[in-house]
Amino acid sequence: MALIDADPSVRYRALLLAALDCVVAIDHTGRVIDWNPAAERTFGWSAAEAVGREMGELIVPPALRERHRSGLARYVAGGEPVVLDRRIEITAMRRDGSEFPCELTITRIVQPGDPVFVGYLRDITERHLAEAELHASRARIVSAADEARRRLERDLHDGAQQHLVGLALTLRLARRKLGSDPALVGELLDEALSDLATATDELRELARGLHPAVLTEGGLQPALASLAKRAGIPVTIADVPEERLPPTVEITAYFVVAEALTNVARYAGASRTDVSVRHIGGVLHVEVRDNGRGGATMNGGSGLRGLLDRVSAIGGTLFVESPEGVGTLLRAELPCAS
């Protein structure tokens, strides 16, 4: 209540000091008359250094200063406002000369005499980085999908397709020999059955990599148990929820564990791996921890990077903790219906 009852100038000063955004006030000549603590932190100039100096030379990059000065002079002389009362993105400059993107809104203070302008500025570097990462992630997802299609075509051509072509040739030969050499026909049919079994196994393995049938039919518990059996390393699985979850969540959790176990088997040199999957408060927490050599990073290979894209695509988060010599913890948090 003390703030509400305070003198307006005191209240204005308190709001200025508390603002998280930069607040910079200038007079009609472009010189700074107010400079709040957020502006000090962002631009590197103290209020004592900034007040009285031309704003353009403090925070406007050299390439943009003439435009800033001419725009201010044109408006003060009676011209139409161009950037007033609008939210725009511009490039600003810190004391050390480094430039960064910021969001700017300029308003005119209504008062007698020469105009006073207040600029509200916000550093949006993190927003730009997030947008750039989003675009890069989408590009990686498209690239990964293209590569997956090429790999699928290659695997089908080099594997099951070759066995099926050989099977067709064997059956044609058996048909030609059906009346003249029954013994050879029997051998050819045995060979055809062997080729058919091999092709079926390869197709089944290929389908498991695309979308495991055990996951579709039984959910995460049997799917993760199947992964553990094929991992080639000791794996303990705990806390997997029995209830079915949204399909996108289940398949993402499955591939988090699959990628983690593959990395442990290939690189970690671990003697133990623990997998935990818990559904808490509408979020599925997936953790894979090993006691291997550590040193894993998110940028260390395409596998974890692709996994990050997959997790981010459903609004989840992925973390890696991997101190050298201690082991690795891969943790995913996947939002899902509670």
Ramachandran class of 232: left when φ > 0, alpha when ψ lies in -120 to 50, beta otherwise: left
Res. 209: pLDDT tops 70: no
pTM of the model: 0.51
Do 196 and 225 reside in the same domain of the chain?
A: no
Do 227 and 295 reside in the same domain of the chain?
A: yes
Mean pLDDT of 18-46: 93
| Percent of the chain topping pLDDT 70 | 87
Q: How confident is the model at residue 206 (pLDDT cuts 50, 70, 90)?
A: low
From 155, 183, 210, the end of a domain falls on: 210
From 78, 99, 123, the end of a domain falls on: 123
Highest-scoring range by mean pLDDT, 111-120, 169-178, 284-293, 304-313: 284-293
Q: What is the pLDDT of residues 310-334, one digit of tens each?
A: 888 888 899 999 888 888 999 999 9
Q: What is the pLDDT of residues 110-168, one digit of tens each?
A: 778 888 999 999 999 998 888 887 777 776 766 666 666 677 767 666 677 777 777 88
Do 95 and 19 reside in the same domain of the chain?
A: yes
Do 159 and 47 reside in the same domain of the chain?
A: no
Higher pLDDT, 118 or 8: 118
User: Which residues span the domain enclosing 257?
Assistant: 215-335
Q: Check if the beta carbon of residue 253 is closer than 8 Å to that of residue 286.
A: yes
What is the reported pLDDT for 11?
76
Mean pLDDT of 48-55: 94
Do 182 and 163 reside in the same domain of the chain?
A: yes
Res. 337: pLDDT tops 70: no
199-216 as b/e, with b when 16 or more CB fall inside 10 Å? beebbeeeebeeebebbe
Mean pLDDT of 61-83: 88
CATH code for the domain of 248: 3.30.565.10
Do 51 and 112 reside in the same domain of the chain?
A: yes
Find tokens 């209020």 and name the residue: 47
Q: Check if the beta carbon of residue 22 is closer than 8 Å to that of residue 122.
A: yes
Do 204 and 219 reside in the same domain of the chain?
A: no
Mean pLDDT of 292-306: 76
From 123, 147, 180, the end of a domain falls on: 123
What is the reported pLDDT for 186?
85
Tell me whether residue 286 is exposed, middle or buried, using C-beta atoms within 10 angstroms of its C-beta: 0 to 12, 13 to 18, 19 or more.
Answer: buried
Res. 2: pLDDT tops 60: no
Tell how far CA 302 is from the center of its chain.
13
- C-alpha span between 313 and 190 (Å, rounded): 48
What is the reported pLDDT for 297?
80
Higher pLDDT, 180 or 59: 59
Q: How confident is the model at residue 17 (pLDDT cuts 50, 70, 90)?
A: confident
Do 259 and 306 reside in the same domain of the chain?
A: yes
CATH code for the domain of 103: 3.30.450.20
What is the reported pLDDT for 237?
92
Do 275 and 234 reside in the same domain of the chain?
A: yes
Mean pLDDT of 84-105: 92
Do 190 and 228 reside in the same domain of the chain?
A: no
What is the reported pLDDT for 147?
67
Tell how far CA 190 is from the center of its chain.
52
Average pLDDT, the chain: 84
Res. 1: pLDDT tops 50: no
Do 95 and 33 reside in the same domain of the chain?
A: yes
14-18, 68-72, 326-330, range with the lowest pLDDT: 14-18
What is the reported pLDDT for 61?
94
Q: Check if the beta carbon of residue 272 is closer than 8 Å to that of residue 291.
A: yes
Do 231 and 303 reside in the same domain of the chain?
A: yes
Say how many domains are in the chain: 3
Res. 208: pLDDT tops 70: no
